[in-house]
Amino acid sequence: MCSSGDSTAATAEKQSAAFQNTLQSAFQTQFGQNQQIYKFLSDTLMPQITHPQGYGDDALAAMRTGATDTIAQQYQNAQKALQNQQFVNGSENLPSGVNAMQTGALKLGQASDTATAQNNITTQNENLKQQNYWNALSALNGVNQGNNALNTANTANGAGSTTANLSNAVTSSQAAAFSPFNSLIGAGAGVGAALLGKKG
């Protein structure tokens, strides 16, 4: 009674249902793994969002010390050069207070350059904090989009719709297969009723 088309639809329905079950199982496993990855990344990235960090404490201390030491060494060399120049020019011949004024100018320059260097390091650290904040926010947003359960549900629903459509096709084809017999039975019943009516 069933045509080859009917059996093809029935086979496709069974295959689609089996595929949907496999798909759901795979999605459950995948979603569970995604949740673990999300938790790990969230635990790692959230501190950079709530309390963004720049350079590490050791790195920051090394940068500050390095800048101060470098500037101090440069001004020590400048002080020696100034003293040599004063000696060559006969510092005793300079007006009173000139040597102290030149030395004071060097010390003022050293303090100014040190403050500028420290301020630059502070600015770099704050810029890095901002960069780390936005990078963490962007990364966490990307994880959220990739871990969207709605996408998984939509894919599973699509597979379910395919199975339902195939099931409807099988049901329709089976109804169509019995349609000629139903017509014959209906016609036979009609003829029988007509004959009974004539006898009566």
Q: How many angstroms separate the CA atoms of 37 and 39, rounded?
A: 5
Q: What is the pTM of this model?
A: 0.52
- Among 1-5, 56-60, 128-132, whose mean pLDDT is lowest? 1-5
**35 DSSP assignment:** H
Map out the domains of the chain as residue ranges. Answer: 56-135
pLDDT in tens, 65-121: 999 999 999 989 888 888 787 777 666 666 667 777 888 888 899 899 999 999 999
Q: Tokens representing 172?
A: 């329709």
pLDDT in tens, 127-180: 999 998 998 888 877 766 655 555 655 665 565 565 556 556 556 655 555 455
Here the contacts of 103-109 (C-beta below 8 Å, separation 24 or greater) are 103/79, 106/75, 106/78, 106/79, 106/82, 107/75, 109/75, 109/78
**90 DSSP assignment:** T
pLDDT in tens, 7-45: 766 676 677 777 777 767 776 676 666 777 778 878 888
Per-residue pLDDT, 158: 61
